[in-house]
A and B are shown apart, each in its own frame.
Chain A
Amino acid sequence: MKSDNAIIATNLSKHFGEFKAVDQISFEVKPGEVFGFLGANGAGKTTAMKMLIGLSTPSAGSATIAGFDVYKETESIKKNIGYMSQRFSLYEDLTVRENLRFYGGIYALTRKAIQEKSEEVLHRLGMWNVANNLVSSLPLGWKQKLAFTSALLHNPQIVFLDEPTGGVDPVTRREFWELIYEAADRGTTIFVTTHYMDEAEYCDRISMMVDGKIKALDTPTGLKNQFGAKDMDQVFLALARSATRNAD
C-alpha cells in the first residue's frame, strides 16, 4: 500500500514496563517536507525515532514509513530511509572515499553507481582534494556534512537526522541546513531532531514532545502565534516547563 504521506504515525506508543516512553503520538509528514521533531532530553524523541526507523518494535499503535508498515515491512523501510545519528558516524580510520564506498556498498549500490555518486558528492561538498585523506583529519563540520551526504547516497525517500548539528559552529550549521534544503528540494523528506531553536525555525513544521506525548504540532509561525511567543525559544520553554518527567 503506497500512501501519499511519507510518514504516518497513529497512536504510536512504546512502553518499558509501566513507563510510557512514547505515549500515543500521531502525526503525518508530507513528502519533501522538513519536519522538526523537538522535545527536551528524555521526552521520548529518540525512542520514537527508533520505532520509525525499525530499530525498535512499537508497543502499540501503527505507523507507515514510505508506505511500509513498521511492524511487518522493516526490511523495505530500511531500503528507503537514510539515517544519521547524533553520534558522529563515519569511520575515522577510513578515507573519505572509502567511507562513501562502504555506505554505498551496504545499501547494495553497484560499483559504478557508487563511483559516480562519490564523485558527485565530493564535488558538491568541495572535498575533492581531501577524498583520499583519513576522515579523522577533517574538521568536525566537514565530517557532519559528509555523514549527511553518505546517508543520502542511496537516494532514500526519507532521511532521519538525530541531532545532526550537535557541537558544530553556527556557520557550518548554516551550511548544513543548506544541504538539508537542497535534499528537500530534490524531494527527500527530512525528519530532524534538534536542540537549536534557530534551526527549528528552518523547518516547515514542528512537533513538540513533552513527557512522551506530542503537545504541539504546527508551522513555526503557527506555534509562535498559538503560544503568543516572539520566537521558538519561548515556545519551547513554555512547553518544556510543563514537563513532569526528569531528563535522563
Chain B
Amino acid sequence: MKQFLIFVKKEFLHIWRDKRTLFILFGMPITQIMLFGFALSNEVKNAKIGIWDQAGNQASKQIIAKLDASRYFDLVKLIHSNQEVNASLRSSEVNAVLVIPASTSQQKINGLAKMQFIADASDPNTATTLKNYALSILSPEFQPETGSPSIQTSVRMFFNPQLKGAFNFVPGVMAMILLLVSTMMTSISIVREKELGTMELMLVSPLKPILVIIAKAVPYFFLSMVNVISILVLSVWALDLPIRGNLFLLLSESMLFTITALCLGLLISTITASQQIAMLISLVGMFLPTLMLSGFMFPIENLPPPLKVVSNIVPAKWYFLIVKNVMIKGSGFVDVWKETAILGLMTLAFLGITVKKFKIRLA
C-alpha cells in the first residue's frame, strides 16, 4: 500500500510539473463550456424574414406585428412577387419568407387560415428551427375564440421550454472531456513510461504490475472529478442550467464513466508502444465516435441503421443519456439503471481484456 501511494504521488508530480498539459486539462472544460454556452449556439436569433402580404388588411398587419416583435425574427423586407421571393432567398437577403394569402381575414384566422412559410433550407437545422419558431408564434392566432370544432395541437416543450442548446451540449461536453482526460492522458502516460524504459524498471521491481497500472489511473481519476465539478458549477452559475436529479447520483454516474474511460485508456496502452499511436487511437477511435455517435451532435434516431447499432458500443452514448436524464429530466436511478448496467459491463470487459493483455505481454 505504501509503495502504491509513493507511485501515485510520483504521478501527481509528473502532471504537476508539466504545466502545459495541466493548463490544457483544466482550461479545456472551461473553454468548451464557455464556447458552447455563449459563442456556439444552435438557437437562431434575429433571423431575417421577408413578408409577402397579399391580404393587406387588419388581420395580416396583426400577424406581421407579432412576428416582428419576437426576438427571433427581424422583418427586413416586404415582398410583392414570386420572383422576389426566389431572389431574396437566393441572395440570402432573407432566411425565410411568410406568404399571407389574400383570403386571410379576421374570421379566417379564427377559423381556418392557411399561410405559406418558405425557408432557406440550405442549412436544414436553421430552417427547421425557424419553422418551429414561426409556428409557435403564430399558432395562438389560429386559435378560435368561439368554440369551433377545428383540431388543435398544443405543443409543450417539456424539461427545456426555452429550447436551450445548453441542455444538450453540457452532457456532451462532459462525456467528451472525461473521455479525453481519462482515456487519452492515461494511455499516453503509460506508453510514455514504456518509451522511456522506466516501465521495464517497474516490472523488474517487486511492485505488482497491476498496481503500476492502477497507480497510473488514480491521478487522472481525480483530475476528471475536478473537471466534472467545474463543468457542473459553470453550467449552473454561468449557463443557468438546472440539476434536477440527485447530485450524488450524477456524480456517481460520472465516476463510473470516468472508470470506464480509464479502463479504455489502460486497454489502449497495453496494445500500443508509442505515444503517437496511443494519441491517435484515443482521438480517432474514441473522440470522433463520441462526437458523432453519442447522440450529442446528431440524434441517434436519425442515424442510418448500421450506425445506430454501432452507436451502442460507444460508452459515451450511455453516459450522455444518463447525464441528460438525471440532470435535465430529474430522473432517478430506477430510470437509468439499464444504462448504468451497460456502462458497468463495458468497464468490466475493458478491464478484463487489459489484465489479460498485460499478462501476455509479460510472458
Interface residues of A (CB under 8 A from B): 53-57, 75, 78-79, 81, 83, 85-91, 93-94, 98, 101-102, 105-108, 134
Contacts and interface: CB of A to CB of B under 8 A. Distances in A.
Interface in B176-202: 196-198, 200-202
Nearest to A93: B17
B10 to A, nearest CB: 5
Interface residues of B, number: 22
Contacts of B197: 85-89
B63 to A, nearest CB: 68
A181 B201 CA distance: 23
A55 B204 contact: yes
Interface stretch (B1-9, B39-47, B268-276): B1-9
B205 A106 contact: yes
A92 B193 CA distance: 11
B10 A78 contact: no
B334 interface: no
B11 to A, nearest CB: 10
Contact of B6 (A75, A78, A88, A105): A105
Contacts of A106: 3, 6-7, 202, 205-207
Contacts of A108: 2-3, 206
B6 A56 contact: no
Contacts of A54: 204
A94 B200 contact: no
B18 interface: yes
Contacts of A89: 196-198, 200-201
A10 to B, nearest CB: 21
Contacts, number: 68
Nearest to A81: B204
Interface string B150-172: 00000000000000000000000
Given A85-B201, A105-B3, 16 more contacts: A55-B362, A56-B362, A81-B204, A83-B200, A85-B200, A86-B197, A87-B200, A88-B197, A89-B197, A90-B198, A91-B196, A98-B10, A98-B13, A107-B205, A108-B206, A134-B17
B310 interface: no
Contacts of B3: 105-106, 108
22 contacts: A54-B204, A55-B203, A55-B204, A56-B363, A75-B206, A83-B200, A83-B201, A83-B204, A85-B200, A89-B198, A89-B200, A89-B201, A91-B198, A93-B13, A93-B17, A93-B18, A98-B13, A105-B3, A106-B202, A107-B205, A108-B2, A108-B3
Q: Which of A53, A85, A86 has the most CB of B within 10 A?
A: A85
Interface in B2-28: 2-3, 6-7, 10, 13-14, 17-18
B297 to A, nearest CB: 37
B159 to A, nearest CB: 47
Contacts of A134: 17
B18 to A, nearest CB: 7
A68 to B, nearest CB: 12
A110 B155 CA distance: 70
B14 A93 contact: yes
B255 to A, nearest CB: 28
Nearest to B198: A89
B202 to A, nearest CB: 7
A98 to B, nearest CB: 7
B204 A79 contact: no
A203 B204 CA distance: 24
Contacts of B204: 53-55, 78, 81, 83
A106 B207 CA distance: 6
A78 B18 contact: no
Residue in A55, A75, A86 with the greatest tally of chain B CB atoms within 10 Å: A55
A101 B10 CA distance: 10
Contacts of A83: 200-201, 204
Nearest to B15: A93
A83 B202 CA distance: 10
6 shortest interchain CB distances as A-B pairs: A87-B197, A105-B6, A83-B204, A93-B17, A78-B206, A85-B197
A107 B13 CA distance: 19
Contact of A105 (B2, B13, B14, B17): B2
Contacts of B205: 78, 106-107
Contacts of A78: 204-206
Contacts of B196: 87-89, 91
Contacts of A102: 6-7, 10
Contacts of A87: 196-197, 200
Contacts of A94: 10, 13-14, 17
Given A79-B206, A93-B13, A55 B6 contact: no
Contacts of B10: 91, 94, 98, 102
A102 B205 CA distance: 12
B363 A57 contact: yes
B237 to A, nearest CB: 35
Nearest to B10: A102
